Amino acid sequence: MGALRLGIAIALAALASGAGAAWAEDYPARPVHLIVPFAAGGPADVYARVVGQHLAQALGQAFVVEDRPGAGSIIGTDTVAKAAPDGYTLLVMSNTHTTNESLIRQKPFQLMRDFVPVAPINSSDLVMVVHPSVPARTLKEFIALAKAKPAQLNYASSGPGTPYHLAGELFKAMTGTDITHVPYKTSSGARTDVIAGQVQMMFDAITTMAPAVQAGQVRALGTTGDQRSSVLPDVPTVAEAGVPGYQATIWIGVMAPAKTPADIVGKLNAAIEKTIAQPELRETWAKQGAVPMVMTPSQFDAFLRADIEKWAKVVKLSGAKID
């Protein structure tokens, strides 16, 4: 009887393995939905649409981008967490998700429990900008101004837990300044008000803020990478300009609901890797300040876990909290 049960178990395992391979071979057989839990116009939305178009051409089915912002990415993310694990509903995520793991304890999901990593897409530095009315032309002058006027200067972000928010909190912690956080529902709303002078300062993705810097609508005081940006080469890094050791980026990736078949995850990973390897796409992204990221699903898993740990330390250091 024991041998019979063992044989049945082996047969069922073989059938499951074969079914998984068949699913991947046929996948995708209908449109795939890319859920972006952020507002239209931000980096995640922009690059999801670019990658989605290429994936549609490569895999022969539409990849439909759906923006579902709200609650600091929680609403759209939870939609994907509850979706069927069949590869037809995917999450376009960012380091907002890894920071939220320590910043927002009460969530209806846990990132590494309820999702499986598929692939990263790209990363880019941020740029610290101020409205031209701010009487500080360098980073050191801005720090001196902030110290002279505690809690009187404001900085905008696209909401609690976003890279823009944590970049600001890290800056405050490392400079000993007291600058008031003004959270917006979208990065475009925050960007618009900084350009209009409603808020004095913002850390924003170079990919979206560089045109405003180049047009003189805002003044760039520093970029947040380890080296100067090729898009804004005349702007020093924040570390170079007066805050040694400061570094912050924004990156974007794709995850799927937990228990999505490994063969489907692998097929998506390979298609995304092939997409971002295209020379014309890399050239376009380079002009925007975006750097392609290539990892296997297991490498992306390790990257995500390390990023969660990194930002947990930043949250603790800065004292950041949901307002």
What is the tens place of the pLDDT at every residue in 219-242? 999 999 999 999 999 999 999 999
Average pLDDT over residues 19-42: 84
Which fold is adopted by the domain 125-241? D-Maltodextrin-Binding Protein; domain 2 (3.40.190)
Confidence of residue 1 (pLDDT cuts 50, 70, 90): very low
What CATH class is the domain 30-123+251-318?
Answer: alpha beta
pTM, two decimal places: 0.84
61-75 tens-digit pLDDT: 999 999 999 888 999
**Taking phi first (over 0 means left), then psi (-120 to 50 degrees means alpha), and beta for anything else, what does residue 259 get?**
left
Structure tokens at 23: 């699913």
Which DSSP state fits 294?
-
Answer whether 222's CB lies under 8 Å from 236's CB: yes
Distance (Å, rounded) from C-alpha 197 to C-alpha 220? 14
Any residues with CB less than 8 A from the CB of 113 and at least 6 apart, and which? 258
The residues near 181 (Cβ < 8 Å, ≥ 6 apart) are 154, 155, 157, 165, 168, 169, 323
Ordered by start, the domain boundaries in the chain are 30-123+251-318, 125-241
